[in-house]
Structures are given as C-alpha cells and as structure tokens.
Amino acid sequence: MTTGSYGQCHAKSLAEPDEFWRETARCISWERFPEIILDTSSAPFNRWFSDGQLNTCWNALDRHVQDGHGDRLALVYDSPVTGVIRTYTYQLLLDEVSRFAGALRGQGVGRGDRVLVYMPMVPEGLIAMLACARLGAVHCTVFGGFAAAELATRIDDCTPKVIVAASCGIEPKGIIRYMPMIDAALEIARHQPETVIVYQRDVCVSPLRPGRDLDWNAVMADAVPAACVSVSATDPLYILYTSGTTGQPKGVVRDNGGHAVALTWSMANLFDVSPGEVFWAASDIGWQVGHSYTLYGPLLAGCTTVLFEGKPVGTPDAAAFWRVIERHKVVILLTAPTAIRAIRREDSEGRLLEDHDISSLRALFLAGERSDSDTIMWAEDKLGVQVVDHWWQTESGWPITGNPLGIEVFRTRYGSVTLPMPGWDVQILDGNGKPAPFGSQGAIVASLPLPPGALVTLWNADERFRSTYLDEYPGYYSTGDAGYIDEDGYVWVMARTDDVINVAGHRIATGALEEILCSHPDVAECAVIGAADGLKGQVPVGLLVLKDSATKLPDDVVVDVVSMVASRIGAVACFRKAAIVDRLPKTRSGKILRATIQAIADGRSVKTPATIDDPAILPEIADALRSIGYAAEAVAA
C-alpha cells in the first residue's frame, strides 16, 4: 500500500514518474527487474519498464502458490442460470491453466501468437486467457454471442492461430448457440485459424467439424502442463476491441509489465483490498472491466475473484447481487450504475435486502457510465457502505479517477468521479485547445506520457492511434469525454464529447440534464439525446423509465421533469419533450445507446448495433419518439 497522503502520492507520480513507478514495480515478481522505467525514445509510443522481463500468469498464480498460498480460494464461479457453484484454489486453478497452456502449445501456439477467446461467463474462459498469458501468447477475448459479422472483423484483424469457444451461452431469455456464429464468421472471414477448441456445455452440445474442431476435454486429457514463458514487459498481453466511429473496431493493445504494475497498485490503494479477501467485478469477461477486475486485478493481488453467470434482476430476482455477497463474503463490489438502477426499479424500498446479510461488503464501486446522484444516494442508504463513482475507459485499462480508499478517503461529491489516480494528469481544454479555468466545461484530456497500464497503441494501426487519441490536442491524450474540474481538483465527467448538445449556440451536457430527470422520485433511469432542430440546431429530448412504484401518471411525470429542467437550467435548455418507455436500448455491458436513439429521432436509417443487448427494443423506441412528434426511422436488422 502506498505511504503518505493522496496529494503526496499523486504529485510524486507526475513530478518524479521514474522514481514513483520504480518503487511501485516492486509489488510484482520480475524475471528481470527493469532499469529503464519510462522509455520515451519513440514518443508518443512511450513504453514502461522496457528492459524488464516477467510473466503475467506467474504473477497471477504461480507466485502465490510458491509463497505457500496454494490452498487460498482464487476463483468462485456462481451461476444461477445453471444452478452450479464451483470453487478453485490457487493450486487447482494453476493446474488447470498449466494444462490448457499445454493444450494450446500442442496446437502450435507460442509467444506472440494470437488466440481468440469466444466464451460466456464460465471458468474455462478465464483459464483460456491465463493460459495464453502463460505462453506469452496474445489473447483477444470477444463477448460471447457477438454477431458473426462483428466476430469476422476481429478474426481478420488479429489473425488468431486458434479460437477457443464454448458451445453456447445461457441467458435468462434462453440459450445462445455459439458454434453457428463461429461457422458463419469463418465463412466470411479472410483469415482462417488452424483450430477451434470447443468447450461443450451440458445444455447444448455442438457437432464438431472434423479437421478443424477439437473438444476441450479431449485436448485437456492429452495435454502436458506448460511452464511460464518469460516475456518483455512491453510485449502485448491482450488485444481488446472497442467500437470505432468508422465502423471498424479499434484493437486496444495492453502490455504485460505496465498492466501488472498498475492493476496491482489499484487493488490495494484504490479498492483497499488485501490478499485473501473476496472481490467481485460484475462484468462480462469480454469487456474491459472483466479483463482488469474479474480476471487479472484480483489474482495479481492474491484475492478471491467471483465469476457470476447471471443478471442483477431476473436470475431469479432483484436480490441476486445480495445473495452472492452474502454467500461468498464479498468485500468490494464493482458494477455499472445500470445494474443498481435495475435493482432499484424492482425493489425501490430495498425490502429484499432484509433477507440477506451483506455485512461483509465495505464499498460499492460504480463505473462504465455516468452515475446519477439519486442512484448513488439510494445505494448508500440501502447498503450502508461507501459508494465510489469512478471513471475509466477501455483505453485506460484501469481507473483514471476515483476515491482512493486505501490511501485517503475523500468526501463524496455527488456527480463527481473524485480525483485523478497516479500518473493521470487530467486537464480540461476549451474549444481552442487552451486550459480552461476551474468550473468551466471543456474536453477532458490527460497529459502525455500516459501512466503504466494504459493502451500503448492500436493493433496494427499506429497511425489510427495517433489520429484517434493524440492529434486533436498535441501533447495530450483525448479521452472523448467532456466535463470540468472544480476548485478542489474533483473531476466531473458530464458526457461524451459527442453527447454535448448545441442548442442555439449554448453547449449543454446530456449528463447535466439526466441528473435532473433522475432526481424525480418516479424516474428509475433516463436518457437524453440531442435531436435535430431546424431553428436551434439541436434540442434535448428525454426518454424516461418509471419505477414500478411510481405514484404519478406518466403524463404528469413528463410535465414535472420539463418544469424541473426549466427551473434548474433555465429556458436556454429548451427541454420540452420526453417520452415514457419500458426500457432503454443498451449494450450488453449496460451502456445506453444514445447515438442510436438520436439517429432514430432524426429520421436517419439505423442499423441494429452489434453490441445491443436486445434488438427488439428499437422499434419500441421509434414508436415512443413518434408519439412526441419525431418522424422516427424504421430500424434495419
């Protein structure tokens, strides 16, 4: 754990980055400890610990076993959709990972080769990822159930030697068969992997294609366990794709050394967890949170991680999270605000909590989208723990800002994501690219070099990395988010840059409007978009999801929120219209698809996003927008 105050820690990380990160790097195990801490010789493609040698899997598993902790619980798999709970000690998980690494090695996978992992929330997905790290191979984990066309673009971009897949995923709405999507993707992909290893689930056994497909259990039975391969700290650990504005996904590259150092620091100092404690990041392994804090972070720190195959509501009810916390003695829960809103919508009084002992829980961390004040205050009241709204991105790999509970606990300012973490020099730039004064909204950027753990480039796309993140504001990384910093240094993330509405020349963040709408006692969640307007350029339009316990009629709620915006922001906001909907269109990770809603409202043709959780919702959104006067376009599949 870091010594000294937060202010001393952050100041040193910016003023003396080599010394700060050299000291921090001693928290992990190295084959060769680095002498070069920050290598700027190829700036802006800066590298951390460039002459260091290590293995990430060794740090996540072997060293804990070597230190006598093989009997410590490493992984708890809790699956309400199948009724199965499985546990793995560090020794057992190491045995499984070593054996599957041997199976991959038997298929010719070695250092630098890519392996695409297409798995649901099952332990075998984590085992496959760790096995790649053990061999020095690069894993590319794609959300299980991603459509064939999207899967094919990732196959062509990362050119995997092997695909590791499951026969299916299990959702509350039914079974999603994976192998037909693999087959369809490979029919259109230019690159053809040599092998597909298939983990057959009991509820769905898929036929295997001779000459291409191998059974997981069969290759595990024949495999010779593989030892760790030492790699350079700058070698890629994984590629994780995030959506791009051109339609071509961006393959974020994460290195081995900086990644391990940053995540280990964050577990002790931001999340305030100790070895042996139970940490639960309720995120799919296909997303960034699943990589950083379901898999690597907890294991690097010697903690127990929870892998949950279920939903916050519906598996079977809105007490699912409380049941997991009670059963496994979770001390920290990291989830998206959407999950808490869903629970609150079904159990606004928190009555289901009365049946569960969640006294082990010390803090709730929220990230992935903006957390409205009402949701945070509800969670504080019902759970009785510290609630931390923190901010980060796929690109950052670990939190950019947060409340560092392991160093110094700061007072919550509702709507703020608190303070920057070490190495993150967060600033606000105005429309001319100049530093904005405290309290003034602008583009949120971070001064270069970025700290360890952040993306180092995009896979096979160095120039795209420059143009996407670095060219707009030379000397800075552009986060794509807008907001401000107050006089005490607290960061306020208000919207994505493209979610700032320009109403007759006045720039208004959707987050500010959503904060007001969510404060209505009958509103469970909401989304605000900027719809095209011939006179003002854009005007804000709201979509409201009401609580099950709502006491007012829908039309009356709309009248209320229009009045609330007028009184708190003023007539300049031009907020006149809102529609009531049963649910909002979201990605599978819980992010609201505002750009899709905006396109529908503007009457533009809309293709169903590959990341959407439920495509059937889009026609409902179009109907709702038409009901308040927008000529919403039909949605194409």
Q: What is the pLDDT of residues 535-576, one digit of tens each?
A: 777 899 999 999 999 999 999 999 999 999 988 887 778 899
What average pLDDT score do residues 344-367 get? 96
Question: Is 593 strand, coil or helix?
Answer: coil
pLDDT for the residue 614: 85
CA distance 339 to 312: 6
SS3 labels along 310-355: CCCCCCCCCCHHHHHHHHHCEEEEEECHHHHHHHHHHCCCCHHHHH
170-174, 325-329, 616-620: which has the highest mean pLDDT?
325-329
Q: Closest by alpha carbon to 287, among 507, 540, 508, 591? A: 591
What average pLDDT score do residues 124-152 get? 94
pLDDT at 495 over 80: no
What average pLDDT score do residues 18-41 get? 98
- Residue 84 belongs to what H/E stretch? strand 84-89
pLDDT band at 633 (very low <50, low <70, confident <90, very high): low
CA distance 405 to 363: 9
pLDDT for the residue 147: 82
pLDDT for the residue 632: 64
pLDDT at 525 over 60: yes
Q: 567, exposed or middle or buried, with CB in 10 Å at 0-12, 13-18, 19+? A: exposed
CA distance 500 to 367: 20
pLDDT band at 511 (very low <50, low <70, confident <90, very high): confident
* Structural tokens at position 283: 């995120």
443 or 370: which carries more pLDDT confidence?
443
The whole-angstrom distance between residue 49's C-alpha and the CA centroid of its chain comes to 25
Domain definitions of the chain by residue range:
6-310+390-483, 504-636
Question: Is 258 strand, coil or helix?
Answer: helix
Q: Closest by alpha carbon to 503, among 581, 436, 558, 576? A: 576
pLDDT for the residue 186: 97
pLDDT band at 454 (very low <50, low <70, confident <90, very high): very high
pLDDT for the residue 554: 94
Percent of the chain with pLDDT over 90: 81
- The sign of the dihedral angle between the CA atoms of 113, 296, 248, 428 is negative
Residue 511 near residue 484 (C-beta atoms within 8 A): no
Mean pLDDT, the chain, whole residue set: 93
pLDDT for the residue 177: 95
pLDDT band at 29 (very low <50, low <70, confident <90, very high): very high
- Residue 496 belongs to what H/E stretch? strand 491-496
Amino acid identity of residue 265, one-letter, is W
Q: Domain 504-636, CATH 3.30.300.30 — does that match?
A: yes
Q: What is the pLDDT of residues 382-392, one digit of tens each?
A: 999 999 999 99
Amino acid identity of residue 180, one-letter, is P
pLDDT band at 112 (very low <50, low <70, confident <90, very high): very high
Q: State how far the alpha carbon of 620 is from the alpha carbons of 543, 604, 623, in Å.
A: 12, 16, 5
Q: What is the pLDDT of residues 223-269, one digit of tens each?
A: 999 999 999 999 999 999 987 554 578 999 999 999 999 999 999 99
pLDDT for the residue 395: 96
Residue by residue, DSSP assigns 13-76 as HHHSHHHHHHHHHTTS--SB--S-SEE-TTTTS-EESTT-EE-HHIIIIIHHHHTT-TTSEEEE
367-381, 395-409, 598-612, 613-627: which has the highest mean pLDDT?
395-409
Lowest mean pLDDT among 146-160, 293-307, 342-356, 503-517: 503-517
Please give the CATH number for the structural domain made up of 6-310+390-483: 3.40.50.12780
pLDDT for the residue 224: 98
Q: What are phi and psi of 445, to 5 degrees?
A: -130, 170
What average pLDDT score do residues 365-391 get? 94
pLDDT for the residue 512: 83
Residue 152 near residue 189 (C-beta atoms within 8 A): yes
595 or 366: which carries more pLDDT confidence?
366
CA distance 452 to 21: 8
**Do the domains 6-310+390-483 and 504-636 sit in the same CATH topology, yes or no?**
no
Half-sphere exposure of 490 (CA within 13 A, CB side): 18
pLDDT for the residue 634: 54
Please give the model's pTM, rounded to 2 decimal places.
Answer: 0.87
